Chain A
Amino acid sequence: MKVLLADDNQERADAVARRLSDAGIVEIVRVEPGQRLIDIVEAAKPDVLIVDMSRPDRDSLESIREVSAQAPIVLFVDRDDPGFMQDAIDAGVSSYNLMGSSIPDVKPIAQAAVAIFRRYRKVAEDLEKAENKLGERDIVQKAKARLMKERGMTEPQAHKYLRQTAMNQGKRIVDIAWNLLGGAGKES
C-alpha cells in the first residue's frame, strides 16, 4: 500500500505520516511545497491519496481520467459513507482511492488522516472565535438591512449613515450597528 500525502502544512503532514507509519504503512510519499500534485500522482502511482482540501490544485485530480493513458480509477474512499465524508470535509481533508484497493484496506488510512486534520482544525477555530470578526460583520449587515427596509435607504446610504454616525460619536461602526439593532442581532 503506497500513500501519497499532499499537505503543505509540514507539522500536520509529519503527524499524519507518523500515524500511518505506526499503523504499518511503509510507503509514504510526500508532495513537497512547489511540486505539482498531478505530476507526483502520475509519477508515484499511489494507491491512496490524502489531500489538504485548501489546496487549489485538487481540481487537477478530476482530470486524471482525461489526461492519463493508464486511466486509474479515482474514487473517493468514503463515497458510500456520507457521515464519514462530512467529518472529513469539516476536518478539511479529502481522500482518493486511485488503484481500486479494497475499501477495508483503505478506510483506516483515511480515518487516521481525518483524526489528525480535525485536531489541527480545532486549534484554528478557537483562534477564529477569539477574533470574532465574522460576528461583527454580520451585525453591520443586519443593521444596514434594517436601515434599508425601515428608512428606505440604499445600501451606500446605509453604509454612509453608519460610518458618519460612528465618526461623529467616536465609536466603531459595529458599536453603532449594535445600538441600532437594540442588541437584537447577536443571538440570531
Chain B
Amino acid sequence: MATALTIGLLRLTDAAPVIVAYEHGLFAAHGVDVRLSVEPSWANVADKLTYGRLQAAVMLPPLAFAVSLGLRGAGTPLIVPMALSLGGNTVTVSCALAEALAPETGMDALAIGARLRAYRAGMDRPLRFAVVHSFSTHNLLLKYWLAASGLAQPADVEISVIPPAETVDALATGRIDGFCAGAPWGAVAAHAGVGRPLLPSTAIWSNHPEKCLAVSKAWADANPTALAGMMTALLEAARFCDAQGNAEEVAGILAQDRYLALDPAVIRDVLPTFFAGAANFPWKSHAGWFLQEMARWGLLPTEADRGAALGIYRPDLLRAVAEPAGISMPIGDTKQEGAHAGHWTVKAAQAPIQMGGDRFCDGAVFEF
C-alpha cells in the first residue's frame, strides 16, 4: 500500500488545498496515504515536525526557517517544496480605533499608517497589537507597515502573541487595540461587532506569500515518490480552490466541525489566492525577504547561515511535478520583489504566467 504520512494544519482558511485534497480523495488517487492532524497551535506543528509525529505541515514560512535553523528549541531540517497561498491576512482594529482613524475608501496603507501615528501621538501609552506567532508572516508584515509609517516598536506599538480565537475577546475587553491574523479571524471579529478591518495584508505587500508546505527533509529524501504524489494532489486541489464557482463548496468543506467549525458564509468571502499567479511557486526571493526581515527584528541570529537557509526553498522540486501535470512554472528562481505595481507576465516553462503585482506599501524594491 501507499506510503503513509501525516500532514499538520491549523483551523485556517489557507489550509484549504490540503483539506480539499483529502476530502476529494486526491491524495489517495495519487498513491499517497495521508492522515490530517488539526493542531491547536503553531508550537504543536513545529514540535511534531521536529520529533517525527508529522511529516509535513501547512506552515508559516518564517516558522519553517525557525524550525530548520533550531531557533525555537531543538529543530529539524525541513524543505519548502511549494507555497500554498498568497495574501489572506487582515489588520483588524477595535471599533473605537477604526472610528478615530476613519480611513476613506481606497486610502493606501501608508496614509492609514500616518493617521495611526497621529493617533498614537495623542495617547499616553503605546498602541497594543497582537499577532499569532513571533515567527509569522503576520508579525513581519505588521512590523514592516508600522515601521514604514514611522511608528517605533515597542515605544509606539507593542506587539504580543495571542491565539486567533482569543482576539475577539481581547478586542472586546480593550486588552489590544488591533491584531493581524489570517482569515477568517478578521471577519469573525467583524461579525461579532468588536472590530473592523483596517487593511488587508496585501496592502502592505501585494500578493505576499502566506502559507507554505513544509516537509521533513529526512522524510522527503527517503520518499521522493510519495512527496511528488502529495504535491501533485495539492496542485490539483489548489487549482480547484481557486476556480470560479467553487468557493461555496470549498467553504462548505472547511466549515465542518472537524476543521474550522465556523459558519461557511464567513469563510466563503475571505478565501485567499491558492493557484493563480504562480501562487504555488516557492520563490527564493520570497525566502530572501523573510530572512532579511527576521534579521531586521532580531529573530535571526547574526551568525545564521542565510545561504544555507535559502536552500530550504526548493522550486526545483515543484517544477519536477508541475511539468508532467501540464502546469506551467516560472523558469527563474527569483523575481524582483516590489518592482511590479500591476499585472505582469513571467517567463515560464510551457506558457508565460500572468502575475499579480508585488508592490510594497513604501515602494521599496527587494533586490535578491
Which residues of A does B touch, CB under 8 Å?
Answer: 36, 38, 53-63, 66-67, 74-76, 79-80, 82, 85-86, 89-90, 94, 141-142, 144-145, 148-149, 155-156, 158, 188
Query: In chain B between 285 and 323, which residues have their CB closer than 8 angstroms to a CB of chain A?
Result: 298-299
Q: Which residues of A contact B242 (CB under 8 A)?
A: none
Looking at B134, B135, B298, the one whose CB has the most chain A CB atoms below 10 A away is B134
A57 touches B25 (CB 8 A): no
- Across the interface, A66 reaches (CB within 8 A) one of B52, B53, B134, B166, namely B134
A-chain residues with CB within 8 Å of residue B33 when the two chains form the complex:
188
Q: Are A141 and B22 in contact (CB under 8 A)?
A: yes
> Assuming the A-B contacts A67-B160, A145-B29, are A59 and B133 also in contact, with contact meaning beta carbons closer than 8 angstroms in the complex?
yes
Tell me the complex Cα distance, A80–B74, Å: 8
Q: Mind listing 30 A-B residue pairs with CB under 8 Å?
A: A53-B40, A56-B165, A56-B166, A57-B162, A59-B43, A60-B161, A62-B43, A62-B72, A62-B133, A63-B133, A63-B134, A63-B160, A66-B134, A67-B158, A67-B161, A76-B73, A80-B74, A82-B51, A86-B51, A89-B48, A89-B51, A89-B53, A94-B47, A141-B22, A141-B25, A141-B28, A145-B28, A145-B29, A155-B24, A156-B249
Q: Are B161 and A59 in contact (CB under 8 A)?
A: yes
Q: Which residue of B lies closest to A144 (CB)?
A: B25
Chain B residues, Cβ within 8 Å of A61: 43
Question: Across the interface, which residues of A come within 8 angstroms of B162, CB to CB?
Answer: 36, 57, 60
> Contact at B52–A76, with CB atoms within 8 Å?
no
CA distance A76 to B51 in the complex (A): 13
Query: In the complex, are the beta carbons of B160 and A60 less than 8 A apart?
Result: yes
How extensive is the interface on chain B, given as a class?
35 or more
Q: Are A63 and B161 in contact (CB under 8 A)?
A: yes
B1 CB within 8 Å of chain A: yes
B42 contacts A90, CB within 8 Å? no
* Residue B41 is within 8 A (CB to CB) of chain A in the complex: yes
Q: Which of A53, A67, A79, A86 contacts B44 (CB 8 A)?
A: A53
- In the bound complex, how far is the Cα of B134 from the Cα of A86, in angstroms? 24
Chain B residues packing against A (C-beta within 8 Å) = 1, 22-26, 28-29, 33, 40-44, 47-48, 50-53, 72-74, 132-135, 158-163, 165-166, 249, 298-299
By a CB distance below 8 angstroms, the chain B residues around A142 are 25, 28
- Chain A: which residue is nearest B11 at the CB level? A56
B21 to chain A, nearest CB (A): 10
CA distance A59 to B166 in the complex (A): 12
- Cβ B53 vs Cβ A90 within 8 A: yes
Residues of B within 8 A of A90 (CB): 53
Residue among A74, A149, A155, A158 with max Cβ neighbours from chain B (10 Å) = A155
- B-side contacts of A38, CB under 8 Å: 160-161
Beyond A58-B43, A85-B51, whether A75 also contacts B160 by CB under 8 A is no
Closest CB of chain A to B140's CB: distance in Å? 13
A56 and B163 contact, Cβ closer than 8 Å, known pairs A62-B133, A89-B53 = yes
Which chain A residue has the least Cβ–Cβ distance from B40? A56
User: Nearest CB to that of A156 among chain B residues?
Assistant: B249
Asked, given contacts A76-B74, A145-B28, whether A59 binds B132 with beta carbons under 8 Å apart, the answer is yes
A79 CB contacts on chain B under 8 angstroms = 73-74
Q: How far is the CA of A79 from the CA of B161 in the complex (A)?
A: 23
A89 touches B47 (CB 8 A): yes
A145 touches which of B25, B42, B50, B135 (Cβ 8 Å)? B25
**Which A residues touch B53, using CB under 8 A?**
86, 89-90
| Bound CA span A86–B52, Å | 8
Report A-chain residues with C-beta under 8 Å of the C-beta of B165: 56
Cβ-defined contact, B47 with A62, below 8 A: no
Cβ contact within 8 Å between B47 and A75: no
- Whether A148 lies near B25 (C-beta < 8 A) is yes
Instruction: Give CA–CA (A56, B22) in the complex, Å.
Output: 24
Measured between beta carbons, the chain B residues less than 8 angstroms from A63 are 133-134, 160-161
Determine which of B41, B73, B132, B161 lies in contact with A75 in the assembled complex, contact meaning CB atoms within 8 Å.
Answer: B73
Highest count of chain A CB atoms <10 Å: which of B1, B44, B48:
B44
Contacts of A55 in B (CB 8 A): 40-41
Q: Which residues of A contact B249 (CB under 8 A)?
A: 156
